[in-house]
Structure 1
Amino acid sequence: MRIVVTGGSGDLGSRVVRELRSQGHDAVPASRRTGLDLTTGTGLEAALAGAEAVVHCADDPSQKDTVTVYGTRRLADAAAARGVHLVHISIVGIDDFPMAYYRRKLRAEQGIADAGGPATVLRATQFHSLAAYFARTLTKGPLAFTVGDMALQPVDTDAVATRLAELATGPRPTAYARARDLAGPEVLPLADLARLVRAHRGASAPRVVRLPPVGRLLHAFSESRTVPAPGTADVAGRTFAAWLSSQPPRLTGR
């Protein structure tokens, strides 16, 4: 199969490309480097020519609606017009989460549904790297700050890439469809994430300071709304500790 991967040179997209090629498919990375600009739609026709599916991993939260919402809708419309199966990555728990980016991801899903073409949306929990970033950001010296009962169920990026590849090469829906959510194998309170990250670089366990959830956003975090309800998601990939063991002592980025 010829399968286009938007954001194919990024962290998730490059893994999807690698997984598809390992299965013998013609995986084609598409990004600004290859002439595709989702902010304007330039290069869409050429990128989708001859494709049977497109896996949409491209995003740029710094541009607010421009790529996340409008770029996704442009891609969805173009794929629908050509009968190309669109596979889109989204986030668990965005239906009732008062964060601007999560609201944009929900609008992106709605735009895909409105486009009317064959499409599959996969919602996944936060990647291990983002969970580690949260833990580092909320740790100041020997103190780790947490909000209420905040916890995450982080998932390995490779597991998400594998599932996206499976959806792109599997049976195609006739219209918009939601795949079963995907999560990692364990729910970890933020304090545990901070402890694991500090231990990874040889530091002692932090002292945990619990903050009250003031405001709608902190309430959402304290209620762990991005953790799927038991039995509602498939579980796959390495544990957070196993992923951490493969990383350098000093973590960077997200």
Structure 2
Amino acid sequence: MRIVVTGGSGDLGGRVVRQISARGHEAVAASRRTGVNLATGDGLDCVLEGVDAVIHSASSQTKPQSVDVAGARRICEALRRIGSPAHVVSISIVGSDLIPYAYYRAKVDSERVLEEADVPATVLRATQFHSLAAFFGTAGRVGPLTFSIGNMRIQPVDIDWVAQRLTDHATGPAPSGYRRATDIAGPTAYSADQMAEILATHDGRKPPRVVRVPALLPVMRGFAKGGILPGPGAEIGGQSFEDWLRGQPTPMPRRFHSPT
């Protein structure tokens, strides 16, 4: 199979590319570095010629409407223009329809684009990656204190497992139209207290005291009410957060590196 991966130069996309190649398929990384611009559509028709599947893993925290949403639309338009029956597989976020956060709304908009595009398409929703969970656990720390939005919990997932599942869908049977795949999540949900203790132990620090901030705004209420936690039908798997953390630097950097 020939599979194009948008965002193929990013963390998630790069892992998808390696997964595809390891299974004996041809992986084509599509990004601005390779002359493909989802925000403008430049290079799409050329890279999609003869493709069997497209994994849309490109994303932008700052311009999601241009990359996540318009990118999905341009992929579908290009496939129809060149008469390709290729299967489009896209990554999304568990609970993105429950929290009125601009980036999450863009993910829902991207799903809707694929649903209405009249192409074979699969959307896979995953919980937050381990790196983002670690950022949540470190960014809110101020001296001996750390802050939590109400009783918010997070159930992070292994990015490598997400890459595997995206590849599974792309190399497996394509649907006749649009489908939502089973959501995926990591093995354990953590409260702010638990996350703070795990990260403090990793860094060799005393665990901070957790201060819960009232969930006053709609976005905060969505997080506090468990909007980002998987439902009972989700597929659970991948490396645990603790196992992932053992391979990270000490102390854990207090910054977020986007996987896309």
For structure 1, the residue ranges without an aligned partner over 5 or more in a row are none
CA distance in structure 1 between the partners assigned to 2:47 and 2:200 by the alignment: 44
Could you tell me how far 1:137 is from its partner in structure 2? 1.1
1:33 aligns with 2:38: no
1:148 aligns with 2:150: yes
For structure 2, the residue ranges without an aligned partner over 5 or more in a row are none
AA matched with 1:233? A
Q: Deviations over 1:24-71 (max 9, x none)?
A: 111111111111000111101111111100111111221241112112
AA matched with 1:89? I
Could you tell me how far 1:76 is from its partner in structure 2? 2.4
1:107 aligns with 2:109: yes
CA distance in structure 2 between the partners assigned to 1:201 and 1:243 by the alignment: 14
1:138-217 pair list within 5 angstroms: 138-217=140-219
1:1-254 pair list within 5 angstroms: 1-80=1-80, 81-230=83-232, 232-252=233-253, 253-254=256-257
CA distance in structure 1 between the partners assigned to 2:77 and 2:192 by the alignment: 39
Moved more, 135-144 or 114-123: 135-144
Runs of 4+ with >4 A deviation = none
AA matched with 1:159? W
**Matched position secondary structure for 2:230:** coil
Q: Deviations over 1:98-153 (max 9, x none)?
A: 10110111001001111110000000000000000111111112111112110011
Q: What TM-score do you get using the length of structure 2 for normalisation? A: 0.94
**Matched position secondary structure for 1:96:** coil
Could you tell me how far 1:251 is from its partner in structure 2? 2.8
Could you tell me how far 1:211 is from its partner in structure 2? 1.6
AA matched with 1:95? D
Q: Give % identity.
A: 48
Q: CA RMSD in A?
A: 1.1
AA matched with 1:240? F
Q: Deviations over 1:180-239 (max 9, x none)?
A: 000000111122112211211111111111121112111111112110122x10011111
Q: Deviations over 1:67-110 (max 9, x none)?
A: 12112211122234421100000000011211011011100100
AA matched with 1:65? Q
Q: What TM-score do you get using the length of structure 1 for normalisation? A: 0.96
